[in-house]
Amino acid sequence: MDRFTTTAAALVTRKNAVMRTRLSRLGLAGLILGCLFTQTSVAVVVGACKGGVHYPTIQEGVTHAPAGGTVSICPDTYPEQVSINKHLTLTGIASGTADSVVIAAPAAGIVQNATSLADNTAGIAAQVLVVGGVIANFDNLIIDGTNSQISGCAPDLMGIYYQNSSGTVNHVVTRNQALTAALNGCQSGEGIFVESGYGTGGTANVTIENSSVHGYQKNGITADGSGTTVTISGNYVVGQGPTTGAAENGIQVSDGAAGTVFSNKIMDDVYAPATAGASGIIVFDSGSLTIQSNTVNNTQFGIVVFSDGAPNADNNTITGNNISATHADDGMDLCSNGNTVKANVVYASDGAGIHLDSTCTEDGAPTGNGNTVSGNTVNEACAGVLLGSGTGNRLSANSTFNVIDTTFAGDACPAGDDTADVRVAKHAAQRHR
C-alpha cells in the first residue's frame, strides 16, 4: 500500500471516529432534552379527575409544578390559602358535568400572608397571593371569602392579590370578601387587588377579564401604585347595595396606576348615609386612563375622577359609558383637569349629569380646567353639566332632557346638591388605601 492510500484510509478512519463522537454527543443532548421535556410536560393535577401526577391540595400542586407549567384543578372545594412565587397557570377543569372549583376559607380561618406596599404596617390576608415578580394566570376558578374568621379591621381580606407581579385573571369568580356584620364599617374586603411600586421598583401588568366580582365589602377590583398597568374588561362587578358599612367602589384605579377600563357592568355601590362617597368607577391620582363603554347602574357616584395629591388624575378619556340611577350624587364627577368626556349617556342622576368639579386642588390651584365635553346625553338631573369655576373647558353638541338647568355655574346644583366641603370629604373617605 503506497503512502497516498495509507493517508486516505487514515482520513476515512478519523472522519468515522469524529462522526461517531458527534452522533454520541447528539444522542446525549437528545436524551437530556427528552428528560427535560418529560419533566415539564407531566400533567400536574389537583384531585384525581384526569391522568397525571396528583396532589390533594392546590398549594401542593403549585409547589411541585415546574416554573411555567399549568396546575389543573379538579372540581371540588379546597379550604386553603394559596401562595405563588413562580410563573404558573392555575385552571379549573371539568369532570363529567361537574365544573366548579372553589378556593374557600381554611377551617382555622384566613390569616395574614402579606403586607401592603402603600403602608408597610398594614397586613393583608389574601386567599390567593402572587409575589416575586412572576406571571400567574387564573382561569375557571371561584375564590369565596365566606367565614374568613377575621375578627377585626386588620388584616385586610382579599380574594386575589398581585404584589409586584403580573398575569391574567379570566373567567374567575371572587365573592364574599367581607367581614361579619359587626365589622362592616372596616375598610377591608377586596375581590381582586393589584399593587406595585411604592419605592420597591416593582411592576405589575395584569389583565382582568370576563370575571364576576361580587359580595365585596370595600372594593371589587383595585389597581394601585405607579408601577401598575391593568386592562379591566368584560367583568360583572356588583356591590352589596345600600350599606351603612364601608363606602364601596366597583373598580378603583389609583396612585399612578395606568391602563384601560372598558365594557364592564358595575352596579349596587351605595353608601346609605350619603356622608361618604361610593362609586361604580373611581380614579384617584391616576391620569391618562381610558374608561370606555362601561355600564354603571344604581351607585352613589357613577364615575369619579379625583386629584388629591401627586400624581394628578388628569388627561383621562371617558367615552361611550352608560350611567343610570346615581343616588344623591353626580353621574360623572371630574375633580381634575384636561379630561375628554365624549358620547356618554347619563340617566336619572340625583346630582348633575356631568360635573366639572373645582373643589379639588392640583399644584395649589383649583381643578375643573381644560376639559372637553362633547356629544353626551343627560336625561334627568339637576344640571346637564355643572360647570364649577374652572377655565378653558370646551362644551359642544351635548343633549339634555328633563334637567333643571342645561348648564349651571358653580359646584352645587340649583336643587341643593352637596356643598364643596361635603363633596371633598366624601371623596377623601371613599377610596381604599
DSSP labels for 32-61?
HHHHHHHHHHSPEEESSSSSSEEESSHHHH
pLDDT at 329: 92
Q: Which residues of 178-196 are buried (b: 16+ CB within 10 A; e: fewer)?
A: bbeeebbebbbbbbbbbbb
Q: What is the largest CA-CA distance in the chain?
A: 117
Q: How far apart are CA 251 and CA 278, in angstroms?
A: 11
For residue 422, give the H/E element and its range. Answer: helix 420-430
pLDDT at 309: 77
Nearest 10 degrees: Cα torsion 88, 198, 283, 408: -170
Contact present, 287 and 281 (Cβ < 8 Å): no
Q: Which neighbouring-strand residues pair with 362?
A: 365
Q: How far apart are CA 229 and CA 223, in angstroms?
A: 8
pLDDT at 414: 79
pLDDT at 433: 58
Backbone angles phi, psi at 29, to 5 degrees: -60, -40
The residues of the chain scoring below 70 in pLDDT are: 1-41, 415-433
pLDDT at 51: 95
Backbone angles phi, psi at 28, to 5 degrees: -65, -45
Cell 427535560 locates to 36
* CA-to-CA separations, 308 to 128, 200, 311, 341, 408, in angstroms, rounded: 31, 23, 9, 20, 24
pLDDT at 23: 35
pTM score of the predicted model: 0.89
| C-alpha cell, 404 | 333643571
CA angle 374, 392, 403 (to 5 degrees): 45
